[in-house]
Amino acid sequence: MHKNNNILPVASLLCFTLPAYAGGFLDDSQASLRSQNFYLNRDFREGTGISKREEWAQGFILDFRSGYTLGAVGFGVDAIGMLGLKLDSSPGRSGTGLLPVADDGQAPDQYSKFGVTGKARLSNTELKIGTQLLKYPTIASSTGRILPQTFQGGVLTSKELDSLTLTYAQINRTTKRDYSHSEAMSLVNKNGRFRGTPEADDFRMGGVDYVVNPNLSLSYQYGELDEVYGQHYLGLFGSTALGPGKLVFDARYFISDDKGQAMAGRVDNRALNLLLSYSQAGHTFGAAYQGLSGTTAMPYLIGTDAYLTNYMMAADFMETGERTWQLRYAYDFIVLGIPGLTFSTRYNHADHANPATFAGEGREWERDTDLGYTFQSGLLKNVNVLWRNAALRSNYQRDIDENRLIVSYTLPLF
């Protein structure tokens, strides 16, 4: 299934054949250094196997983005360098996703990765080839640890028409958030959802986003993992003033089927996701429903974040036939004169799950809570401190209590 691919040579060509006249290439360049200190403790409340995963690590991300050279076609280059440092880990507690793990359970003292992206722009159409951080419904880089997941490939984005965005991508490799090396892609096979996890070096995606008006947008996207599965996505996002506040409606619908040789076996899933929320005077109340139908679970790529409102910290709530209701609440303390302080909580309750590893109806619930503060002045200005807590209870997988403490800061360099 591995194909000859010219993406990286093309990216290198773009980087080293930029015109001598820099123009906007230098004038519009920007760079930043992001620091993130991350402690994670996952406590398994019952069941056999490891009882706890606990690690502490420090991450640094140096991000450079050039402007474009002058001329009808502008050229540029982006680069990202990442370094992860072990602060505390041991073989009996590793595997949190903060650090790589060797066969003996040891985490290295450090790991790093580097990526370069060549880019070209004609009018309002942009082509990027090389290392990509992706945020699309069918393929989204996970950013939930010290270093993000990246992909290798090309992305073409066109905004030539008002209110209309066209996107096409062809991706051939991924580097997971706690890896230094790239590898082929596969799908999540938690609880034996599919026949296997075959690797593929070709993921294609195309989509269109249309802004009807400032309060209503529509989306369609199709993604396909070569010889494994295809996935259609339909999205609708709308908002309107209601009384003294704002009402928001978010609808997402996925249709997934196996493709080609169906290397992972049968894939047959429909996933409906509906979220209604209301915000007023710092308060936001929300309710969501997620329903899966078809003969299998919903597929998504290993290492990525699924684009569903009921996707949580400890569980993804995406088993065959699973139905999930969610209640959520958030508050911004700026209303009380404390800018930078925020609180949010979500509660999922699910039933009708049909995991392959369990006989009977699968049921579970999860509660996630975030409390964060960004310093507004003084020596620590713009430093963000975030505490995240999750509690998962299930009758077919291990109960979990999880805590994360994250201290982050981004320093603009120029």
**Residue 234's domain is classified under what CATH number?**
2.40.160.10
On whether residue 289 sits in a domain, the answer given is yes
Among 283, 221, 223, 288, which Cα is nearest to 250's?
288
Q: Where are the alpha helices (DSSP H) in 56-131?
A: none
The neighbour count for residue 240, using CB atoms within 10 Å, is 10
CA dist 179 and 169 (Å) reads 23
Sign, CA torsion 188/193/194/195: positive
On whether residue 201 sits in a domain, the answer given is yes
**Token duo for residue 179:** 């890896």
Whole-number pLDDT of residue 4:
45
Sign, CA torsion 9/15/19/25: positive
For the chain, what's the residue count?
414
Contacts of 161 (CB under 8 A, 6+ apart): none
On whether residue 343 sits in a domain, the answer given is yes
Count of structural domains within the chain = 1
CA dist 333 and 225 (Å) reads 44
> Three-state secondary structure along 34-45?
EEEEEEEEEEEC
Cβ atoms of 167 and 155 closer than 8 Å: yes
Distance, C-alpha 49 to centroid of its chain? 28
13 pLDDT more than 80: no
Q: Hey, what amino acid is at 310? A: N
Cβ atoms of 258 and 266 closer than 8 Å: yes
| Residue 307 DSSP one-character state | -
On whether residue 1 sits in a domain, the answer given is no
CA dist 327 and 4 (Å) reads 48
3 pLDDT more than 60: no
Q: Hey, what amino acid is at 260? A: G
Residues 122-169: pLDDT tens digits? 999 999 999 999 999 999 999 999 999 999 999 999 999 999 999 999
363 pLDDT more than 60: yes
Domain coverage including residue 188 = 7-412
294 pLDDT more than 70: yes
| Residue 147 DSSP one-character state | S
Contacts of 189 (CB under 8 A, 6+ apart): 196, 197, 264
Average model confidence (pLDDT) for the chain?
94
CA dist 380 and 235 (Å) reads 40
Determine the 3-state secondary structure of 335 from DSSP.
Answer: helix
On whether residue 231 sits in a domain, the answer given is yes
Whole-number pLDDT of residue 277:
98
| Residue 267 DSSP one-character state | -
Whole-number pLDDT of residue 18:
46
How many helices (H) and strands (E) the chain has is answered by: 2, 18
Cβ atoms of 191 and 206 closer than 8 Å: no
Determine the 3-state secondary structure of 204 from DSSP.
Answer: strand
**Token duo for residue 112:** 């790093």
Residues 241-273: pLDDT tens digits? 999 999 999 999 999 999 999 999 999 999 999
Whole-number pLDDT of residue 49:
80
Contacts of 196 (CB under 8 A, 6+ apart): 189, 263, 264, 265
Residues β-bridged to residue 114: 81
Share above pLDDT 70 across residues of the chain, in percent, rounded to a whole number: 94
Whole-number pLDDT of residue 22:
64
